[in-house]
Structure 1
Amino acid sequence: MARRLAALAAALSLVAVVPARAEDKPVLTVYTYESFTPDWGPGPRIEAAFERTCACDLRFVGLEDGVSILNRLKLEGASTQADVVLGLTAELVPEAKATGLLAPSGVDLSALTVPGGFGDDTFVPFDRLDLAFVYDSEAVEDPATSLDALVNGDPDEKIAIQDPRTSTPGLALLLWVKAVYGDRAEEAWTKLSRRILTVTPGWSESYGLFTKGEVPIVLSYTTSPTYHEIEEKTDRYKAMRFAEGHYRQVELAARLKASPHADLAESFLRFLVSPEVQSILPVTNWALPVAATAEPLPAAFGNVVQPPKPLEIPAEEVARQRSGWTEEWLRAMARR
């Protein structure tokens, strides 16, 4: 009997050990934008690949869009549950650093190829995109060839855009208009507002309206038609090429100073620029890589519209002026 009880106790102790070890697995929480996390997005594939190497549980928290991530960090402060933030853009770097919540990345960026260059001790670029207005060629007969033509175009031909207060493409459009029109930006917004059917909090909502046929033009990226070409075998959707140039976005990730998993967070940042992830991002996030890929890009990427020039406003100026430029936009939208 004593031997049986001892054997039973030993067996029970082994059973107890298994969940305890599972519970001890560190959880790395990554705040990102909502289109990163679905089954068709890059999140699940990156999660599976990283978990094969980290002995951890990688969890993505999807927020509306990139600016929403920064807003969430400001709201939560040092009590944030995030270990990493993924999806801010270069324009937001000064504001994000000003929170005091972020730590140096520890990642060597010297091998990255970011047009115009990027050097920072905190943020790690993981992909890049050029903003574009994407249109349905079965609904739009005469696509605009300049931002000015779009602004002054047919008000009955509607457009969906994103809110610059919550969305990084929405913010990029705010800066695009400012870069082209300068002091006349509010006037341009007033004209463009006649064509805007809706302003959504994030990219997913407006692009969903576009693919459902509820609006013929949407603010997106030059690479968006590539998704339809590869996944849906159609060239119906196209990106307008504007003579003034297109606003460029570089997407970034950073780790939180208060994270209890500093080494793990640094490993994840380094993993984002690995050949494996750089091959995943183009065909799931539909963005261009910033480092060497494990596989060549699909041939359809050769059809991506090449802007005549990239447009950018220095991040420090954006940090100083964003509030005032947003007020210009709000006044114009109120006149619709």
Structure 2
Amino acid sequence: MDRRTFVHGVGGGSVTALAGCLTRNGENEEHAAETGPLRVATYTSFATGSDSDPDTDSDPNPDPDQAPSPAGDWFRETVEEEFEEEIEWTVPESGIEHYIQRARLDADIDTDVILGLTASELALVDSVLDAHGDTRLFESLERDRLEHADRIQSDLAFDDPRDRVLPVGTSYLSLVYDETVLESPPETFDDLLDSAYADTLLAQDPRVSNPGQAFFLWTVAEYGSGSGMLSFWEELQANGVRIEERWTDAYRDAYLEGERPMVVSYSTDQVVAAATDRDMQRHQVAPLDNAGYRSTEGAAIFADATRTELAYEFVDLLLSQTAQAELATRNAQFPAVSDEYVDLDATFLENAVEPDETVTLTYDDLEGEFATWLETWDDEIGD
């Protein structure tokens, strides 16, 4: 699963294999799972920091050889030290679709925790599974088992009526531009349609990329889900936007190579640029309408988890003071907890841009709607 993968056509297709999964067929294998490592599904960049794999989409840390080691390394070491347990990171090739399809087929999930779940992915899970008999994929959380749950900023809550996901970090989508090429950045969505920005923008496909998905949802929030949104995208295409499949394709392979001077990315871009000693002129952050689209990542526990107790301990660890600081530094994202519960690195504080205003669509906004919006975009704009 890339960082917030969104798979088009999730209602159909075959079930893909899960890298590194344990099977639970038979008594001996089931017992092994109960006493084995904690199995956590996440995105490649979190687990390994690698940006060479096609599933590293939307990693805001494009140079792992120079930047801090990946968050997964830190969590592996910490879990081993604090709990004397092991973590097995799993990266399903088809992202959330893998679990939706297995739930539909009543197949073993073989994973305890998912890390990096977004509100739109949760809405998609429910829109597909509820239509097939309300199959339960994630369990409702027992909050009395979580010491740090009350630290979470209230405005990051998923508004999930079943209370299945805890926010662990958040990012703001923005434009990143090269001021040595562009005299000034666009200030509004409508500015992006101006001839001054023809053939300058790199974006990502919302069917497979989370920043692409977030940018798409931002346009829904700006123009509505109907003709206004489609008209914007049609005009954006006419103005030469280049839509790459994934964040790494757009950012690392195109923007960093100087192919275009502007890219849809994150407002923490300068955190990594400073840490890797890049030319800051090429890493200017430009919010649209002085705002950024907020994309919050969460953690959920699978209903069929075999290491439930350890799963709760791991989720609680994610919200601890030290872990939240490490996530900010290593994952270039804002903490999910209130300020008094985290001490941020000076480089992060100096270079992370938090927009003046926040735009976001909650689970309540997305439930029963997102799949339809994306299908509309696909029919008119995709391919």
Query: Normalising by the residue count of structure 2, what TM-score does the alignment of the two structures yield?
Result: 0.73
CA gap of 1:24–1:334, structure 2 versus 1, over 3 A, is closer
Report how far residue 79 of structure 1 moved. 1.6
CA gap of 1:100–1:278, structure 2 versus 1, over 3 A, is same
Q: Which residue of 2 aligns with 1:189?
A: 233
Which of these residues, 36, 58, 68, is aligned with residue 26 of structure 1? 36
Q: Give the secondary-structure state (helix, strand or coil) at the position aligned to 1:30.
A: strand
Report how far residue 334 of structure 1 moved. 4.8
| Letter paired with 2:303 | K
Cα distance between partner residues in 2 of 1:242 and 1:283: 25
Q: Which residue of 2 aligns with 1:57?
A: 86
Report how far residue 308 of structure 1 moved. 3.0
Q: Give the secondary-structure state (helix, strand or coil) at the position aligned to 2:117.
A: strand
Q: Which residue of 1 aligns with 2:48?
A: 38
How many aligned positions are there? Answer: 310
Do structure 1's residue 259 and structure 2's residue 305 form an aligned pair? yes
Cα distance between partner residues in 2 of 1:327 and 1:294: 40
Q: Which residue of 2 aligns with 1:82?
A: 111
* 79-88 vs 163-172, which moves further: 163-172
* 229-238 vs 176-185, which moves further: 229-238
Which of these residues, 316, 324, 333, is aligned with residue 287 of structure 1? 333
| Letter paired with 2:188 | S
Q: Give the secondary-structure state (helix, strand or coil) at the position aligned to 2:381.
A: helix
Q: Give the secondary-structure state (helix, strand or coil) at the position aligned to 1:307.
A: coil
| Letter paired with 1:150 | L
Cα distance between partner residues in 1 of 2:247 and 2:236: 19
CA gap of 1:116–1:269, structure 2 versus 1, over 3 A, is closer
* 71-80 vs 146-155, which moves further: 146-155
Cα distance between partner residues in 2 of 1:118 and 1:145: 29
CA gap of 1:279–1:334, structure 2 versus 1, over 3 A, is closer
Q: Which residue of 2 aligns with 1:127?
A: 169
Q: Which has the higher strand share?
A: 1
Report how far residue 259 of structure 1 moved. 1.4
| Letter paired with 2:102 | E
Report how far residue 193 of structure 1 moved. 2.0
CA gap of 1:288–1:323, structure 2 versus 1, over 3 A, is same
Which of these residues, 203, 225, 242, is aligned with residue 161 of structure 1? 203
Which of these residues, 258, 264, 272, is aligned with residue 213 of structure 1? 258
Report how far residue 180 of structure 1 moved. 0.7
Do structure 1's residue 144 and structure 2's residue 189 form an aligned pair? no
CA gap of 1:136–1:267, structure 2 versus 1, over 3 A, is same
Segments ≥4 residues shifted beyond 6 Å: none
Report how far residue 122 of structure 1 moved. 1.5
Cα distance between partner residues in 1 of 2:349 and 2:155: 17
Which of these residues, 319, 326, 331, is aligned with residue 374 of structure 2? 326
Contact 1:25 1:56 in 2 (8 A): no
Report how far residue 199 of structure 1 moved. 2.3
Contact 1:35 1:204 in 2 (8 A): no
Which of these residues, 236, 249, 260, is aligned with residue 295 of structure 2? 249
CA gap of 1:63–1:173, structure 2 versus 1, over 3 A, is farther
Cα distance between partner residues in 1 of 2:256 and 2:91: 21
Which of these residues, 338, 347, 354, is aligned with residue 306 of structure 1? 354
Query: Normalising by the residue count of structure 1, what TM-score does the alignment of the two structures yield?
Result: 0.82
Report how far residue 23 of structure 1 moved. 10
Contact 1:152 1:191 in 2 (8 A): no
Do structure 1's residue 268 and structure 2's residue 309 form an aligned pair? no
Cα deviation per residue 1:223-271 (whole Å; 9 max; x = unaligned)?
1222102332542201112216321111101011111111111111111
| Letter paired with 2:109 | T
Do structure 1's residue 105 and structure 2's residue 145 form an aligned pair? no
| Letter paired with 2:137 | L
Report how far residue 332 of structure 1 moved. 4.2
Q: Percent of counterpart pairs with the same letter? A: 25
| Letter paired with 1:162 | Q
Contact 2:270 2:351 in 1 (8 A): no
Q: Which residue of 2 aligns with 1:5?
A: none
Cα distance between partner residues in 1 of 2:368 and 2:159: 21
Please list every run of 5 or more consecutive structure 1 residues that lacks an aligned counterpart in the other structure. Answer: 1-21
